[in-house]
Structure 1
Amino acid sequence: MTVQESPAGTDVFVAEWEEWHRHKDAALAHEHGFLAVTGLYWPNAEPQRFPGAPGVWSAGDDGVTVELDDGEELVVDGVTVRGRHHFGVLAERASVNAVWGDAVIETARRGGQDVVRPRHPDHPLRTRFAGTPAYAPDPRWRITGTYVAFPEPRPTTVGAAVEGLEHVYDAPGKVRFELDGQELELTAFEGGGPGDLLVLFTDATSGVTTYAANRALKIDAPGPDGRVVLDFNRATNLPCAYTDFATCPLPPAENRLSVAIEAGETIPYERKSAAA
């Protein structure tokens, strides 16, 4: 069911969407955000140097280690480190940002593998960022649905933007909704706040007007009756839509919709330029 808006309510709706979109793009373009990433590296037992990062890096069962050269230093959790620094074993989807001058060297764990990603604020992808294109906000795409919880959260394995990598997420339930008389449903993952949900999906616009691999939609925690609101105007690109240095998850197979969701963010200018 589409949530109806009065003309005055529509003006507020559009203004709130524009503010949300500005804030979302500002976070993306933060000096050490994803647009600042200059490389994606996979350390292993063989010590190696990575462009844009100091020292020599290696990884094993005990996590990632860097051997810094004389005169080099990193600031980790506010502490200056020199020589050999061991980051330890990181939990899946955890990250540690080590400051190096005006840059940040991210050490992370993704898909069961260790990752090193330098982030430099002068990276052209960031400095030339002109915002994310999107469909004009339309209340028609703010749809009421119903959340149906599974008896137990289901571990769900999905692919990744990086070939050969897989992610595992807990799916606590699914969201059902109706669009143009068609009953649809999406498997939902746990969101960022208590009870909040996240759905990853593709639709008939994917690869045409929207990014081919995925889009994401955050959903506020369901009400006591299971009611949820899916505001597809706020369907966003994940970092992999802008850069090849991201390990974003792909939607589960059941979240590949056959309908066209002509709402939310469209293919970034940066990805269009790369394709051209």
Structure 2
Amino acid sequence: MTAVGTDFERHWQAWHDQRETRLRDPLGVLSWIGLHWLDTDEQPVPGVPGRWRADGDTVVVTVDRLGELARDGRPLADSTVLRPAEGAPGLELTAGTRIAEVVRRTGKFAVRVHDPAAPALAHFAGIPAYRPDPRWAVLGFFEPYERSRTITTAAVLDGLEHRHAAAGTVVFRLDGAEYRLIAFGRPETGLSVLFTDATSGVTTYPAARRLELGTPAVDGGLTVDFNRALNLPCAFTDHATCPLAPAENRLPVAIEAGEQNPRTRAARTEYSR
């Protein structure tokens, strides 16, 4: 391997190690042990205290004893009204060592339970990935829309939708062929894409992978490095509500780079330290 290749792999390894460190967060994705949907009838949520119900655009939680649940360090008393934002990270209530995260998705409310003693955390053995290869890091160009567009995609759970602010398209070439992907985010703060390819559902997770593209240069140039294509939370847990890739971002070519499907044991043979 050339010195450039060795340096490339070293930088990728540092990125990969950081990814795995973040996944080991004791209250992160791997700590999720349940996603419980609420309706207008008061109900308990397994794993955390309180009685919960949806009420119009809010969630109402009632506790029986002071201190069973707390928000920002302050114990909840009696009934508390919560207003989680659509599609955003949830509002977090602490229940001992656990977290009750109240989320809103497509107008529906759910409580996601985080537990630092979750089996998925205890058994986490790393993220399977293809061996890094510079051939999958190519020059691309960002072509902005005149105005930002809203792209609606389905989700891994039936009946849910995600709405994304699309800033334009990223154009790049692989093996002489040109491809385009719709880019989400804002060019001044960073772009990303959700995509599938011919490996999706084979060695990589079928719903989508995400690739962060950063901020384009003045001429629109940026690096499209598929070695850093990463899994969404739904690849690791059934308690996620991740989006699917938009139809325009379903590449016909096999992108044999980036993170593989952690649910497929065979994928772990592709890369090891």
TM-score over 0.5 for the pair = yes
- Cα distance in 2 for residues equivalent to 1:270 and 1:264: 15
Q: Deviations over 1:60-119 (max 9, x none)?
A: 224111111225522212322232222135343142111111111111122332221010
TM-score by length of 2: 0.92
Shift of 1:212: 1.1
Query: Residues 220-259 of structure 1: matches in 2 within 5 Å?
Result: 220-259=214-253
Q: Is 1:25 paired with 2:25?
A: no
Judge conservation of contact 1:242–1:270 (CA < 8 Å) in 2.
no
Give the aligned residue type for 1:213. Answer: A
Q: Is 1:201 paired with 2:198?
A: no
Shift of 1:157: 0.5
Q: Is 1:11 paired with 2:6?
A: yes
CA pair 250-238 structure 1, distance change in 2 beyond 3 A:
same
CA pair 91-194 structure 1, distance change in 2 beyond 3 A:
farther
Partner of 1:53: 48
Partner of 2:92: 97
- Cα distance in 2 for residues equivalent to 1:156 and 1:70: 44
- Cα distance in 1 for residues equivalent to 2:158 and 2:48: 24
SS of residue paired to 1:13? helix
Q: Which runs of structure 1 show a deviation greater than 3 angstroms over 4 or more consecutive aligned residues? A: 269-273
- Cα distance in 1 for residues equivalent to 2:114 and 2:81: 20
How many residues align? The count is 267
- Cα distance in 1 for residues equivalent to 2:54 and 2:24: 30
Shift of 1:195: 2.9
Judge conservation of contact 2:84–2:91 (CA < 8 Å) in 1.
no
Judge conservation of contact 1:132–1:265 (CA < 8 Å) in 2.
yes
SS of residue paired to 2:37? coil
SS of residue paired to 1:17? helix
Give the aligned residue type for 1:16. Answer: H
Give the aligned residue type for 2:254. Answer: A
Give the aligned residue type for 2:255. Answer: I
TM-score by length of 1: 0.92
Give the aligned residue type for 2:130. Answer: Y
Query: Residues 70-109 of structure 1: matches in 2 within 5 Å?
Result: 70=65, 72-109=67-104
Judge conservation of contact 2:66–2:75 (CA < 8 Å) in 1.
no
- Cα distance in 2 for residues equivalent to 1:102 and 1:231: 38
Shift of 1:59: 1.1
CA pair 63-194 structure 1, distance change in 2 beyond 3 A:
farther
CA pair 28-228 structure 1, distance change in 2 beyond 3 A:
same
- Cα distance in 2 for residues equivalent to 1:272 and 1:119: 28
- Cα distance in 2 for residues equivalent to 1:80 and 1:27: 29
SS of residue paired to 1:156? strand
Shift of 1:53: 1.5
Give the aligned residue type for 1:232. Answer: F
Partner of 1:3: none
- Cα distance in 2 for residues equivalent to 1:157 and 1:226: 25
Partner of 1:179: 174
- Cα distance in 1 for residues equivalent to 2:105 and 2:24: 22
Structure 2 unaligned segments of length 5 or more: list them: 268-273
Bigger mean CA deviation after superposition, 146-155 or 102-111: 102-111
SS of residue paired to 1:41? strand
- Cα distance in 2 for residues equivalent to 1:194 and 1:77: 32
Shift of 1:8: 2.1
Judge conservation of contact 2:235–2:263 (CA < 8 Å) in 1.
no
Partner of 2:29: 34
Judge conservation of contact 1:241–1:271 (CA < 8 Å) in 2.
no
Bigger mean CA deviation after superposition, 90-99 or 23-32: 90-99
Query: Residues 153-168 of structure 1: matches in 2 within 5 Å?
Result: 153-168=148-163
Q: CA RMSD in A?
A: 1.9
Q: Deviations over 1:147-190 (max 9, x none)?
A: 00011111110000111111111101010000001110000111
